[in-house]
Every structure is written in structure tokens, then in C-alpha cells.
Structure 1
């Protein structure tokens, strides 16, 4: 016959057993990370995002007590990291990647969506954006944005421009500008923004429309900037007009952040967020951003999830309006 003492004893044993089962999970979570973390950068080395994320990884790794190893996976317009997260990576916190607008946009411009940018990732933190602009060869005949448009009108289909990939934010912005001006431009995509800038400096392509990997070539006298896409003029290039000053109500800075695979434990997300936030605001990372004129676009985890959701709706509507398709 079961007595009160027996029932109490069983309850106690069950409670102790539950605590014993919970303890390893708590300890395991407490030890995170206990090995290096992979940060996939979906561009070749040398560009602005690569530099900023490498700096962030180094600083955050010191704070976590484990290395964050940068792994470059270029190709597919900067979406190889997202593809890995969505199809192969485990949600254990040891694989994260850059989340940029091209990844959010991609489901709406391909026949078979590879992921749902809102539901298929664990969004961690918003970090920064890019200074975009259009540059030409410094010793060429085009000196201003008005010259650029005039050349395009006089030479339909002959003015070439390069970007870091098809269906990137900068590519779509150029297509929208061309549509507004009723000019025909020829897109010549490269794998990365630094490669695109060098192609213009060497005379392979007539202009580059990309992030500020072109800035050192401007400083070196090889390229000439015609416009920047920020809300205000860049302090580094104060003589260069914005798109708004040129008559377009457009500000393009393409904020990006970090995400992991779907289903990450909130505790792991918090550990990564907190370390990356400290690294983002560290003077060393701020110096890298300043070197590339990258605006701070910090979002905490909740706000970054909300940003991705809002942006997904915007990208869906824009893809429909512009009839964007890449396959």
C-alpha cells in the first residue's frame, strides 16, 4: 500500500531526477561556446563587409573566449552563406552568416524560393550598412552625373557599369535610375565590390555602382565619384552630391546584420548578440567602419527580426512592381 511518505519520496525522487536531467543542458548552455564559431562572409576577401565582419569576429571572439573563424563563400550574389544556414547548418550557434538585403529579396525574384527570410533563420543583430556611389575612371571624359546621363543618351547600350552581383541592391538601384532617366545601361557584374572598382580603374568597365571599396581608388586619384546614395553628403567626399541633391528622392544604404539557422535557442542568440554588440561599438570596429564610411545601423535581436519582416514585405512589393526575375 502506498503511504504519504512513499508518495512524498517518489515526488522528491522525480524532482531530483528532473533537476539532474536539466543540469547537463544548463551546463552545456553555460559553456557556449566551447569551440570555434564559423562566420560565413558571402563575398571574397578585401571588400568593406569582409573587413568590417573580420574585425567584428576578432573582437567578439576575444569576448567569448573562442575564435570566430571567418569563412569566405562568394558567389550567387552574396547568398551562399544563407544557403548554408537554410539547408545544412545546425542551430547550435556554431554557424552564423551575414544577412543582407539581397538574401531577403531573393525569394521574390526566383522561380523556386530557396528560403523564407523571416521564418527560416534565427536573426541575431543588425550591424551597419554601406556607403554606395557611382564612380568612373578619373582621367575619362565623364566628370559629373550630368555628363554620365548625356553619354548614355548619346550612346544607347554602350555605357557599362559594374556591381558586386545580379539583383543586389546597387544593381536594382541602377536599373531604377536608368528607368527614370529612360537610358539604356549595360550591367557587368563582378563577384565583389573591390573587384568591380579595380575593373573600372583598369578600363575594363566604364563605371562602378557599388559600396565604398572604391574609396581608396578615389583617394589614389584613379577613380572619380559622381554621386553618393546617402541621406547627406559623405564627410570623406564633401564635394560629391547625393542622389537627393540630383533630384531623386532616394537614400540607399542597405543595412545588414548577422543570422543563424532556424530554431536557435534564445540563450545562444543572446550570447552571440551581446558579444557582437560589444564588438560593434568597440573603437577598433568603429575605425574600420569609418575607413569605409559605413553608417551604424544597430538593431537588437527583437528589432532586427522586425526589420527583416518589414523589409521582406517591401522587397516583395518592389519585385512585383519592377517585374524582377533572375531565372
Structure 2
């Protein structure tokens, strides 16, 4: 008797992404029922497994939003747009800058921490004010626990400017006027609790004068107010550079450890005896709970963008230097600074009651 030929057996099994597995039993050898059931079970289990690892490997698959918590046109916005443009090339997806000014640069990052998913598609500039604001008022966010630190980028050169037709020819002229007429001499900054505000408060204490502080949402609004004659002076980062170079503003003092290369004739506050030095480092952070693999991808892309020719060119224009920190170092710096700056806020008498 002739042995019957084993029938061809086909198993059509649902697979991820709608694919079909077609398994054909060997045409020339037998396949038992148990073997067929085993193959079917294995394929079914594979189809049911989630694919997070695959998704992470492909991050990003859509544009990334980068929140800049200051208005467009200021020094921070200029630098972050240059970085975003270059980071887009490394990530293979657009990095879209979204300006969300307010609360001295803390509104945008705080809202991100409370509402954005920790998937890496929404990140924010993290200004130094984030580590000070919780001491000055009640907040519903924690600057350490509610954020994932991605990368440290740079720091500011702060300066104090007046209009070119101002009667204040030097910074000492401005302080002398405040001493002669307490509470009548004003200045603007980028918001309550911002570094430009706090360094002037520290100077006022050291110089024993009373100044009127006028807060603004960001650099662009502040500069227009000064140019329009609505305030006497401004304390800010180097978004004023173009106005100083064009002769519309006069730079009276800077707040770094040494004089700037770009304006070497302008003294520092430390040099004048006011005892204040500030650079206010900044970087990028995301919501808490981000996947370390995603953090690493973002870190690598933005680190390369920081040292790109375009970023270096903008920093040179703003008289800034790279202040790179990796994710771990950036978080440790934030923790140490948060603890240390409590003393500064207490010294200035700005602690929330």
C-alpha cells in the first residue's frame, strides 16, 4: 500500500501592524497536531506583546516642542532657536520653539511639568529662577522632583543699560541718584524672582539704597519700555547688545566675574565694589518620569547643537560661553543650587510668609 502524502497545513496568524504569518508545514515530512498548536500559540503570544522597545529605538517619530519661557526676540530666544534648528538635524524631526512667557520665566516650565506627557516630545528651557521661585511664593510644583534634567547649555552675561540720552553716565551716577531720592529711581527686569531682578535687589542692599522694580514678561517688552522712555533703566541679559552697539542704549555695568571681551571698557559690579557676580546658568528639562533612553537621545542631539557653528556664533554675539553639563551633572547642580539659593532669598528678605 502506498503511504498517503501528508497534507499541506497553513496557519494564518494575526501579527503586529496587521501583518500575516503564513506557516507551511513541510511538504515532505509530517507535522503533528501538538507541533502545530505550539507554533500557533507562540505566534499568538508574539503578536500580543507590546513594542515599547521598538518605539524607543525609533524616537522621535514626530516634531518636538521646545518651550522658551520668554518672548520672541530676546537673547534667550535667539540662542534657543539656533540650538533648535541644529538639534532638528540630529534628531531627524523638527524642534519647534514655542514662546510661553510669564512669571519671570517660570510659567512655561511649570505648566509643562504639570500637563505634558513624559514622552520626550515636550521639553523646556529651565532658567535659574525655577530654583528660587518656590522660596518666594507658594507653588504647586517642585523644581527638583517634578522635572527630568536633560542637559546644561549656557549662562548669561547680565548688564545694566539706560537710554543714550539718559542723565546717568555711569552706574555710580544711577546709584547716587537713588541715594539722593529714595524710591523715585526705577529699573525694569524680566520678572519678579528672575536673576536680573535679584542681583539688583542685592546691589540695593549692599549700596543701602531703595529702587523701584518694574517687572516685565521678557526681554523684548523690557527693551521697548526702556526705548520708549517708560522706565529709566533695565537689568537684563545681553538682548540689549544690538541697541548698545547702535548707540540707542548706554551700557553702565556688567555682572560677570570679569569685563566682557565685547565691551571691555565697561566695568563690572564687583570691580565697582558692589559685591555682586551673576551668570545664571540654564539648560533643558522635561517632565518627571522620562525614559532614560529618550533622555540620552535628546541630550546627545542638544549637546551637538550647543557646539554647532550657529550656536557658537549667537553666543559670541551675546557674549556667552557654553556651560555644558550632562544629565546627571545638571541634576546634581540643580539640587545643590536649590539648597544654596535659599540663603540668598532669605538675605534679600524675599522669603514667602
Verify the 8 A CA contact 1:78 1:102 in the aligned structure 2: yes
Contact 2:100 2:107 survives alignment (8 Å) = yes
Q: How many pairs are equivalent?
A: 316
**Maintained 8 Å contact 1:131/1:229:** yes
Bigger CA drift: 258-267 or 155-164?
155-164
Structure 2: distance between partners of 1:156 and 1:304: 41
Asked if structure 2 preserves the Cα contact closer than 8 Å seen for 1:85 and 1:121, the reply is: no
Query: 1:322 Cα deviation (Å)?
Result: 2.5
- 1:277 corresponding residue in structure 2: 303
Q: In the alignment, what sits opposite 1:137?
A: 163
2:254 is matched with which residue: 228, 233, 236?
Answer: 228
Contact 2:102/2:108, CA 8 A, preserved across alignment: no
The equivalent residue for 1:314 is 340
* Residues 123-153 of structure 1: per-residue CA shift (max 9 Å, x gap): 0000011110111121221111221121111
1:38 equivalenced with 2:65 (yes/no): yes
CA contact (8 A) 1:125 1:299 kept: yes
The structure 1 residue matched to 2:276, chosen from 250, 254, 257, is 250
* CA distance in 1: counterparts of 2:123 and 2:203, whole angstroms: 34
**Pairing partner for 1:113 from 111, 125, 139:** 139
TM-score by length of 2: 0.85
Give the structure 2 partner of residue 127 of structure 1. Answer: 153
Aligned partner of 1:78 in structure 2 is 105
The corresponding residue for 1:3 is: none
Q: Can you list the C-alpha shifts for 1:71-99, whole angstroms capped at 9, x where unaligned?
A: 11111211122222221011000010010
Distance in 2 (CA, whole Å) between partners of 1:305 and 1:77 is 21
Spell out the pairing of 1:148-297 with structure 2 (5 A cutoff): 148-297=174-323
Q: Structure 2 matches for 1:98-109, cutoff 5 A?
A: 98-109=125-136
Q: 1:19 to 1:322 in 2, by over 3 A?
A: farther
How much does 1:19 deviate? 11
Give me the TM-score of the superposition, normalised by structure 1: 0.91
Task: Tell me how large the CA RMSD over aligned residues is.
Answer: 2.1
Describe the shift of the 1:326–1:218 C-alpha distance in structure 2 as closer, same or farther (beyond 3 A): farther
**Aligned structure 1 segments of 4 or more residues deviating by more than 4 angstroms:** 16-20
- Residue 18 of structure 1, CA deviation: 8.1
Equivalent residue for 2:49, pick from 21, 26, 33: 21
Q: Secondary structure at the residue paired with 1:188?
A: strand
Structure having the higher helix fraction is: 1
Residues 167 and 326 in structure 1, CA contact (< 8 A), matched pair in contact too: no
Task: Indicate the SS of the match to 1:62.
Answer: helix
Larger radius of gyration: 2
| Higher RCO (CA-CA < 8 Å; seq separation 6+) | 1
Cα deviation 1:201-224 (Å, max 9, x = unaligned) = 222111111111111111111111
Once residues 85 and 149 of structure 1 are traced to their aligned partners in structure 2, the CA distance between those partners, rounded to angstroms, is 39
Which residues of structure 2 form unaligned runs of 5+?
Answer: 1-33
Which of these residues, 120, 124, 144, is aligned with residue 93 of structure 1? Answer: 120
Give the direction of change, closer, same or farther, for the CA distance of 1:19–1:182 in structure 2 (3 Å limit): farther
36-45 vs 290-299, which moves further: 290-299
Whether contact under 8 Å (1:200, 1:206) holds in the other structure is yes
Deviation readout 1:89-114 (Å, 9 max, x if unpaired): 1100001001011111111111x332
